[in-house]
Amino acid sequence: MLDRRFILENVDRVKENCRNRNVSVDIDRLVELERERRNFQSELESLNRQANQIAQAIAKAADVDQKTQLREEGRRVREKSAEIETRLGQIGAELDAIHRMIPNMTHPEAPVGSDASASRVIAYSATPKPEFSFPPLDHLALAERLDLIDLEAAARVTGHGFYYLKNEAVLLELALQRYALEILLGEGFTPMSTPDLARNHILEGIGFIPRGPETQVYSIEGTDLSLIATAEITLGGLLAGQVIDAELLPIKLCGISHCFRTEAGAHGRATRGIFRVHQFTKVEMFAFTLPDDGDQMLEYFLGIERRIFDGLGLHYRVIDTASGDLGGPAYRKYDLEAWMPGRGEYGEVTSTSNCTDYQARRLDARYKVRGEKGTRFLYTLNGTAVAVARALVALLENYQQADGSVVIPEVLRPWVGKERIEPKKG
């Protein structure tokens, strides 16, 4: 969340940012509540001083009637204090609810616009779009021919939006994870296999809504746990409530996890096959940094994502995401959209975001500088190394051959053990 003092001192800027990000928040109400809170707090402090003075006077009073009168006055002060404390609690809850709805500020160079159409293409990969001498199939048609994915069985067992991977698709899933890990380990990331569940206050700290009609996550009934939508949640939660030494920064983590998303409201071509599903495996990058290092780390994460997909030999474009399409915590976000010839369009395969201290404030994740008093909030960044389901979509569609086979990218062959996936005989 934003620093409340910053909001109060920059009301017009915060309002404009909310408009640019299509977020409806009553900033004026927050200002009004903060004024009420300060007035009530001042009154409460005055009453507390009165209560102390009355207590001292009672101790010194020799007359019984005077003590009785002072005790009655003390009772009225305590009742008034209790009323104010109740009101302060109500104000605090409403203040916090509004405060948490306010999105992060937006990088001054990010495009401003109401939706994804305002996003800006800032780069293309060196790999060109593939050219075919035949009409290319989409990944689902290819997977059916090559016996790689079973959606019907998954629908019977679990429901729509889930899938079984089979045969070489399983090897490709493992190969993609290992390929991404090799690159990240070479960059000094600490590998982690994370829990698939997290407490709801951790999800809220990262910026997800664990309950209610707007949620995109699955909650576990009767508990304060939810299935994670990304390892960003569990990696970011590592330092919740903690203070670390500045000398340890940056901390670069890569987490392997299953990801679970309700995809509420999803529809259209993207729901065909495994491009948009309820469960998938992902290798996620996450970093805790000093504030001055946030922008540089974002460019670094983007560079790693490009390196991964350049190595896979896929054509993609880099998107600087428009303000109206940013999630609440993101200060700036880049997407990689790979060309998917079977769909005849680009599809998002990675994203990376600089969340500044927005998440750290909600999680109370801090650092301290040796020799200086106090602590400061960390900066957090996240980035997709590889989301396996979408990477599989891109690989199958771009590497399909006229004879129905699919060539396996050279960088994945050591783990798959073959050069191509052939149609099954018989």
- Which residues contact residue 413 at a Cβ distance below 8 angstroms, ignoring those fewer than 6 apart? 419
pLDDT bracket for residue 118 (50, 70, 90) = very high
CA distance 215 to 277: 16
pLDDT, tens digit, 9 for 90 and up, residues 40-49: 999 999 999 9
Pick 69 or 330 by higher pLDDT: 330
Q: Would you tell me how many other CB atoms lie within 10 Å of the CB of residue 60? A: 10
Q: Which of 152-161, 210-219, 255-264 has the lowest mean pLDDT?
A: 210-219
Is the pLDDT score of 103 beyond 60?
A: yes
Is the pLDDT score of 228 beyond 80?
A: yes
Minimal CA–CA distance to 342: which of 128, 125, 135, 124?
135
- Mean pLDDT computed over every residue of the chain: 94
Instruction: Decide if 416 contacts 171 (C-beta within 8 A).
Output: yes
Mean pLDDT for the stretch of residues 403-424:
96
Mean pLDDT for the stretch of residues 92-98:
95
Pick 384 or 212 by higher pLDDT: 384
Is the pLDDT score of 346 beyond 70?
A: yes
Mean pLDDT for the stretch of residues 259-266:
78
Give phi and psi for 129, each to the nearest 5: -65, 140
Tokens 């500044």, located at residue: 356
pLDDT at 210: 72
N- to C-terminal Cα distance for the chain? 59
Is the pLDDT score of 83 beyond 90?
A: yes
Specify the DSSP class assigned to residue 324. G
Is the pLDDT score of 424 beyond 90?
A: no
pLDDT at 266: 55
pLDDT at 37: 95
pLDDT bracket for residue 70 (50, 70, 90) = confident
Mean pLDDT for the stretch of residues 122-136:
96
pLDDT bracket for residue 420 (50, 70, 90) = very high
Is the pLDDT score of 62 beyond 80?
A: no
pLDDT at 173: 98
Give phi and psi for 337, each to the nearest 5: -115, 115
Alpha helices in 287-335 (DSSP H): 294-311
pLDDT at 268: 56
Is the pLDDT score of 426 beyond 70?
A: no
**Which long-range contacts (C-beta less than 8 Å, at least 24 apart) are formed by 414-419?**
414/175, 415/171, 415/174, 415/175, 415/178, 415/179, 416/168, 416/171, 416/172, 416/175, 417/171, 418/168
pLDDT at 425: 75
Is the pLDDT score of 25 beyond 60?
A: yes
Model pTM? 0.93
Give phi and psi for 258, each to the nearest 5: -80, 150
Q: Is it true that the peptide bond before 103 is cis, omega within 30 degrees of 0?
A: no
Pick 267 or 185 by higher pLDDT: 185
Minimal CA–CA distance to 285: which of 257, 262, 313, 318?
257
pLDDT bracket for residue 216 (50, 70, 90) = confident
Is the pLDDT score of 170 beyond 60?
A: yes
pLDDT at 261: 94
% of the chain surpassing 90 pLDDT:
87
Helix axes 64-101, 27-60, angle to 10 degrees: 160
pLDDT at 72: 87
Q: Which of 114-118, 196-200, 222-226, 361-365 has the lowest mean pLDDT?
A: 114-118
Is the pLDDT score of 285 beyond 90?
A: yes
pLDDT at 212: 66
pLDDT at 269: 58
287 alpha-carbon distance from chain centroid: 12
pLDDT at 65: 78
Catalytically active residues are 261, 276, 348, 351, 390
CA distance 343 to 137: 8
Minimal CA–CA distance to 384: which of 260, 294, 267, 259?
259
Specify the DSSP class assigned to residue 315. -
Mean pLDDT for the stretch of residues 259-277:
78
